[in-house]
Amino acid sequence: MTIAEAREEVSKCDQEIQSIKAVLRGIGKLVNSSETNELKITFTTVDGLPETAKPIIALQLSSPIVDGTLALGETIAFTGVETSMALITIEAKDADNTSIVLGTSSDPIEVATLCALDDPKNPKDEYITDVPIVIVASTTATTKAEEETKKHTATDEEGEEATTTMVTAQPVVCTVTLKVTYKPSAKDQREELYDLLNKTSQRKATAMAELRELSTSSTAVTTTTKDPSVRSGFLNKGGGGNSKKGRSSSEEGGRENGNDGAAKKKGFVTTAKRWYERATGPDSIARKTAFWAVVTKDFWIFFGAVGFFHFRGQVLALPPPV
């Protein structure tokens, strides 16, 4: 990455951070409302079972802990779901005899993967996702550890062999498809925005660190390529100490006198400029005093006249009548 690209990345991150903060300020009041999110699950199709089969699925949500049962075509709704940590487990059962478990989902379903907002700054009213779930039947077999080489063995402290339980391959019973409809709340949008803000801030910090490193490297390269401002042997005033041949002491003296004259001239100009700014410049005390005197002249005339009338008013009195 070049310096220009790093600067552009920092600028983009700044703009994105400002836009995220603007949206957060806009939804600040809505977060305190009683509105909650909603998660609807519909049992749409099942594959792998006979047409005469009547399966039902038992759902259990972990946060909050709620369960429900769905037949084919039915819908269940959950509100106030903690989408960042909730899990859904599923069991498939026979509708005629619910005590018969056909199988369970191979892995719990993470609700967070189904409730991600594509654009947290402009969320949709609802998000619909079709989720196929494989239902497997778990079977276990208890055998001796010596029967097969693939089995794990365990020995106790006395060295006696212990029996182990090996989970065999789980056969697939069927595949059910669920339609998940997610309606986010203002709180969910704010959490997604904070997550996006943290990621953008990390991107900005990385770009700034890289920009600082590139700028330091560029400065170091520029410094090494320039001629040194102080030449070696500048303290040696005799001809023997010069590194360059053919330079006489008179030339050295002439250059020193020229430098001294330039320095004195520059110092005189600086001093004169400083005195000008202090005495009669735009920010000088004289200019400021004159300005305020002109602005407040009417007040001075008024208060002067009042004082004169008060203390020397008899001067203006008419002479007594004859």
For residue 92, what are the domain limits? Answer: 3-144+165-204
% of the chain at pLDDT higher than 90: 14
Instruction: Compute the average pLDDT of residues 303-312.
Output: 88
Pairing of strands 87-94, 55-62: antiparallel
**245 has a pLDDT exceeding 70:** no
In a domain, residue 252? The reply is no
Instruction: Compute the average pLDDT of residues 2-12.
Output: 87
Note whether 30 and 107 are same-domain residues: yes
- Across the chain, mean pLDDT equals 77
Measure CA 277 to chain center: 48
Structure tokens belonging to residue 144: 């001796």
User: For residues 163 and 90, which has the higher predicted lDDT (pLDDT)?
Assistant: 90
User: For residues 233 and 116, which has the higher predicted lDDT (pLDDT)?
Assistant: 116
d(CA 140, CA 138): 7
d(CA 131, CA 113): 11
In a domain, residue 321? The reply is no
- Contact (CB, 8 A) for 54 and 97: no
Note whether 288 and 140 are same-domain residues: no
In a domain, residue 198? The reply is yes
**25 has a pLDDT exceeding 90:** no
Q: Write the Ramachandran bin of 103: left for phi over 0, alpha for psi from -120 to 50, otherwise beta.
A: left
User: For residues 281 and 78, which has the higher predicted lDDT (pLDDT)?
Assistant: 78
Task: Give the end of a domain, one of 204, 230, 253.
Answer: 204
pLDDT, tens digit, 9 for 90 and up, residues 181-218: 999 988 888 888 899 899 999 999 998 998 888 888 77
Note whether 126 and 42 are same-domain residues: yes
Task: Give the end of a domain, one of 153, 174, 204.
Answer: 204
User: For residues 54 and 266, which has the higher predicted lDDT (pLDDT)?
Assistant: 54
Residue 225: strand, helix, or coil: helix
In a domain, residue 95? The reply is yes
Q: What is the chain's length?
A: 322
Report CA-CA distances (Å) from 277 to 20, 273, 293. 48, 6, 20
Note whether 127 and 197 are same-domain residues: yes
- Contact (CB, 8 A) for 136 and 91: no
Q: Please report which helix (H) or strand (E) contains residue 117, including its range.
A: none
User: For residues 74 and 288, which has the higher predicted lDDT (pLDDT)?
Assistant: 74
Note whether 47 and 188 are same-domain residues: yes
pLDDT of residue 156: 46
DSSP state of 296: T
Note whether 20 and 130 are same-domain residues: yes
pLDDT, tens digit, 9 for 90 and up, residues 248-285: 554 555 555 556 666 666 777 788 777 777 777 767 77
- Contact (CB, 8 A) for 186 and 180: no
In a domain, residue 25? The reply is yes
Residue 73 neighbours by CB under 8 Å, 6+ apart: 42, 43, 44
Question: CA nearest 132: which of 66, 180, 100?
Answer: 180
- Contact (CB, 8 A) for 135 and 176: yes
Report CA-CA distances (Å) from 288 to 118, 276, 280. 62, 14, 10
Backbone angles phi, psi at 132, to 5 degrees: -80, 135
Note whether 112 and 197 are same-domain residues: yes
Note whether 186 and 291 are same-domain residues: no
Backbone angles phi, psi at 100, to 5 degrees: -90, 115
Note whether 182 and 309 are same-domain residues: no
User: For residues 170 and 58, which has the higher predicted lDDT (pLDDT)?
Assistant: 58
Cβ-based burial of 35 (10 A; exposed 0-12, middle 13-18, buried ≥19): middle
pLDDT of residue 256: 52
Note whether 22 and 99 are same-domain residues: yes
**41 has a pLDDT exceeding 90:** yes
d(CA 316, CA 100): 123
In a domain, residue 253? The reply is no
171: preceding bond cis by omega (within 30 degrees): no
| pTM > 0.75: yes or no | no
CATH number, domain of 46, equals 2.60.40.150
Backbone angles phi, psi at 122, to 5 degrees: -135, 75
In a domain, residue 215? The reply is no
Sign of CA dihedral 21, 26, 31, 36: negative
Note whether 185 and 301 are same-domain residues: no
Residue 317: strand, helix, or coil: coil
Measure CA 213 to chain center: 21
Note whether 137 and 286 are same-domain residues: no
In a domain, residue 308? The reply is yes
- Looking at the structure of the chain, the number of domains it has is 2
